[in-house]
Amino acid sequence: MYKMETERVTQEIRRRGAKRVLVQLPDGLRPAALTLAETLKETTGAEIILSGDSCYGACDLSLNQADAIGADLIIHYGHSPMMKTEIPVVYVEAHIDFPVKPLVDELLPHIEGWSTVGLTATVQHAHKLAEVAEALESTGRRCLTGKGRGSTPHDGQILGCDYASAATIADDIDGYVYIGAGRFHPLGLGISTGKPIAMANPYLMTADRLNDKDVMRLAMKRMAAITAAKEASRYGVIVSLKPGQYRLEAARALVSRLEKMGKRATVICLDEAGTISLGNFTEAEAFIDTACPRIAVDGVADISKPILTTVETQVMLGDRKWEDVWGSSYLD
Ligand code: SF4
């Protein structure tokens, strides 16, 4: 289903004269990774090495691995560029095509009464939004797409930690259509904009409306986490070493802010926040997550202690009000 762009990648490797190439793919693309590596080796003569570590986003570039193996090029699949790097990186967004008309037909019952629709998608589907707009406009609706910017270069593109371009059209629409799979992005869009969300899944060719009760349930869960974290006296402040998530200065500032309030706080730096990496810090009564907001909002399996995002920590500290961030800049 995914466009692997093997020809373009081959040309890029040849054009740059790369001799050793590190190829990074998200989990969903790994079943075909060995074939891809063999093909690229054959077409370019370069040594192709696959990264086996996580590849959750463009925040997760394998710069250390590339350095360790002496790679002169990284091919990063599944995401669009987020940061400048010393080592050259070729991004392959792995677009997926789907028939637009049948998916829009599935969507229509879920956007009844919406005269102006905001369009959003993950990077795999953002190239189809103009076609989705055309199909929706043929039903008499108006469509708006937020301008791409920064780490979301495509119009309408959203990330689990960046809904800013979608938010620019929030005041002018009745609700958002999200093209993609899963519920994390639509929930994030809902809590970052306060708007109704209709979800169209191009893998299953199904559509649904994000239930207001799910958004309320998440709000209650996050409020409870903030209240519980406020009671804590000892915190672990998580700093991820993933290049696009690394926020040591922000973590240090939070530690000193907490210490001024008479609390104890220590930075924990790690590559990936997981059950084992966090669970053994049993003295921590709560965690603060300066890395990917998904760690806090989705939770970490078997960790029952509160984990707050930096925005939630600001609410806990009284620097920001819940009602000012929920439905506007909650995942910023
Ligand atoms: S920080 Fe998290 S949500 Fe943002 S791009 Fe990385 S993995 Fe995705």
Q: What are 201-233's pLDDT values in tens digits?
A: 999 999 999 999 999 999 999 999 999 999 999
C-alpha of 61 from chain center: 14
Q: Is the whole-model pTM more than 0.85?
A: yes
Q: Where do the DSSP E strands lie in the chain?
A: 20-24, 47-50, 73-77, 89-92, 116-121, 142-145, 175-179, 197-201, 206-209, 234-240, 264-270, 286-289, 307-309
- Type of residue at 244: G
Q: Is the pLDDT of residue 10 over 90?
A: yes
Mean pLDDT of 24-46: 97
Categorize the per-residue pLDDT at 137 as very low, low, confident or very high, splitting at 50, 70 and 90.
Answer: very high
Report the SS3 class of residue 327. coil
Q: How confident is the model at residue 329 (pLDDT cuts 50, 70, 90)?
A: confident
Supply the pLDDT for residue 206: 98
Query: For the residues 44-68, what does the mean pLDDT come to?
Result: 97
In the chain, residues under CATH classification 3.40.50.11840 are: 6-92
With cut-offs at 50, 70 and 90, classify the pLDDT of residue 142. very high
Measured from the Cα of 56, ligand 1's closest atom is: 7
- Does the pLDDT of residue 332 top 80, yes or no? no
Question: Which of 82, 159, 163, 238 has most ligand 1 atoms within 8 Å of CB, for mutation?
Answer: 159
May I ask the CATH class of domain 6-92?
alpha beta
Residue 49's Cα: distance from chain center in Å? Answer: 25
Q: Where does CATH 3.40.50.11860 sit in the chain?
A: 214-325
Give the pocket of ligand 1 (CB within 6 Å): 56-57, 59, 159-161, 244-245, 292, 294
Residue 331's pLDDT is 86
- State which ligand 1 atom lies nearest to the alpha carbon of 151: 5
Tokens of 140: 């008499």
pLDDT in tens, 267-322: 999 999 999 999 999 999 999 999 999 999 998 999 999 999 999 999 999 999 99
Tens of pLDDT, residue by residue over 152-208, are 999 999 999 999 999 999 999 999 999 999 999 999 999 999 999 999 999 999 999
Residues of the chain with CATH 3.40.50.11850: 100-210
In this structure, which residue's CA is closest to atom 5 in ligand 1?
57
CATH topology classification for 100-210? Rossmann fold (3.40.50)
- Residue closest via CA to ligand 1's atom 4 equals 161
**Does residue 179 contact residue 105 with C-beta atoms inside 8 Å?**
no
pLDDT at 288: 98
Q: Which residue's C-alpha comes closest to atom 1 of ligand 1? A: 292
> Domain 214-325 belongs to what architecture?
3-Layer(aba) Sandwich (3.40)
Q: Could you tell me the distance, in angstroms and rounded to a whole number, from the CA of residue 168 to the centre of ligand 1?
A: 20
- At 267 the pLDDT is 98
Q: Comparing C-alpha atoms, which of 187, 183, 279, 181 is closest to residue 238?
A: 279
